[in-house]
Amino acid sequence: MAAPVSDQITERLSEAVSLPYSVKLPVFEGPLDLLLHLIKVNEVEITDIPVARIGEQYLQYLTVMRELNLDVVGEYLLMAATLAWIKSRMLLPAERVGEDGEEIDPRAELVARLLEYQRFKEVAQELGDRNRLDRDVYAAPGLDLETPSDSEREIEVGLFDLVEAYRQVLEAKRDVAPEAHEIEAEEVTIRDRMVAIIDALEARASVEFEVLLGDEVRKNGSGEAGEAEIDWQSIGRPKIVASFIAMLELTRLAAIRIYQSTDEIGFPSGPIHLRLAVDVGDRNWAKDLPELM
């Protein structure tokens, strides 16, 4: 025979007296948990709860909680009310009849809830007993791997690098065409160049600075860096200037990003690359750009 409820209560009360600062109700996880406990100590079947007896003990328990100055939360009171209601129903002749003509036990819903809760309680216990990470077992944290060598790594370049590259381009142009002053009537606007650069970068993930400076990359993917010599003379200085300013503007708007590799000693070298920095996919640049300027 299990210990009577009164003994448990007394025991708990004495605990409460001896530990004035850490009054702790035996941990019941709520009214269903308390009911399961009472069902267990009374050694009765969940499916055939003696509602009167269990209900009485349940109320005693709530009273003890109050004696211990623990606020009885609403859920416990609601369950007390449910038990009282079921008890009264069981005294009355059956009112409700199921589809098959049989009486519906007024306890049925409570029984179903208790069974379901019990299932999860068992699963929870099982879960709690598993080997737990950082309590029972520990994982290898993984190695802080060396980063790839600098030459493979893309790094940001400063505006200085960009300007320097631009200066070199202009210098190269002076070399090839010192006498060319035939200014073509071709109107090149910064806006056009911004749109062209965005288009080019949308078509390809990364494009070389010099290629973009000269002309937009065709969508079919020609104009790969280093594939062919760039004919600066045919491009014309206005276009190069407009392209460069367009790049600066796009950089300022954080629409594109500029990268350059470094050599073994960490000095920036090699071609400068441009990439889209932002999700510009859902934006009509051609339409928006006039506002940007």
Partner 1 sequence: MDETEKRGIAEALILASMEPIPVARLAKMIPRCTPSKAKALVDSLNADYVAQQRAFEICEVAGGYQMRTHPEYKAYLAQLHKTRPLRLSNAALETLSIVAYRQPVTRGEVEQVRGVDAGPVMRSLLERKLVKIAGHREVPGRPMLYSTTKRFLEVFGLSDLEDLPTLRELEDLKPSDPIAAEAESATEGDDDSVVMPEPQLVDADVSLEDLEIAGKPH
Q: Which residues, 247 to 266, sit near partner 1 by CB under 8 A?
A: 253-255, 257
Selection from 201, 226, 175, 222 nearest residue 278 by Cα: 201
- Is residue 133 near partner 1 by the rule CB under 8 A? yes
* By the rule CB under 8 A, 141 interacts with partner 1: yes
Q: Using an 8 Å Cβ cutoff, are 127 and 120 in contact?
A: no
**Which listed residue (15, 44, 90, 121) binds partner 1 by CB under 8 A?**
121
Shortest Å distance, C-beta 17 to partner 1:
12
Residue 77 in contact with partner 1, rule: CB under 8 A:
yes
- Chain positions 9 to 38 lying near partner 1, rule: CB under 8 A, are 9-10, 13, 24-25, 27, 29-33
Nearer to partner 1, 143 or 183 (CB): 143
Q: Is the dihedral of CA 115, 120, 124, 130 positive or negative?
A: positive
Instruction: By CB under 8 A, tell whether 178 contacts partner 1.
Output: no
**64 in Cβ contact with 12 (< 8 Å):** yes
Identity of the residue numbered 10: T
Region of 273 (left: φ > 0; alpha: ψ -120 to 50; beta: rest) is beta
3-state secondary structure of 275: strand
Count how many residues are written for the chain. Answer: 293
Query: Judged by CB under 8 A, which of 15, 37, 44, 84 binds partner 1?
Result: 84
Taking alpha carbons only, the member of 95, 111, 92 closest to residue 103 is 95
Interface with partner 1, residue 172, by CB under 8 A: no
How many CB atoms are located within 10 Å of the residue 142 CB?
A: 6
Q: Does 81 bind partner 1 (CB under 8 A)?
A: yes
Please name the amino acid found at residue 183. Answer: I
Based on the shown chain and the rule CB under 8 A, indicate whether residue 108 belongs to the binding site for partner 1: yes
Question: Mask 56-75, x = binds partner 1 (CB under 8 A)?
Answer: xx-xx-xxx-xx---xxxxx
Angstrom distance (rounded) from CA 274 to CA 272: 7
Counting contacts by CB under 8 A, is residue 53 touching partner 1? yes
Q: Which of 49, 7, 18 is nearest to 32 (CA)?
A: 49
Nearer to partner 1, 115 or 180 (CB): 115
The residue count for binding partner 1 (CB under 8 A) is 96
Compute CA distances 85 → 36, 59, 105, whole Å.
Answer: 19, 14, 13
CA dihedral 151, 152, 156, 158 (to 10 degrees): 20
- Does 127 engage in binding with partner 1 (CB under 8 A)? yes
Scanning 54-62, 214-222, 230-238, 239-247 for contacts with partner 1 by CB under 8 A, the matching segment is 54-62
The answer to whether 288 contacts partner 1 (rule: CB under 8 A) is yes
Binding flag, residue 132, partner 1 (CB under 8 A): yes
| Site membership for partner 1, residue 130 (CB under 8 A) | yes
Considering only residues 148 to 167 of the shown chain, the ones binding partner 1 according to CB under 8 A are 148
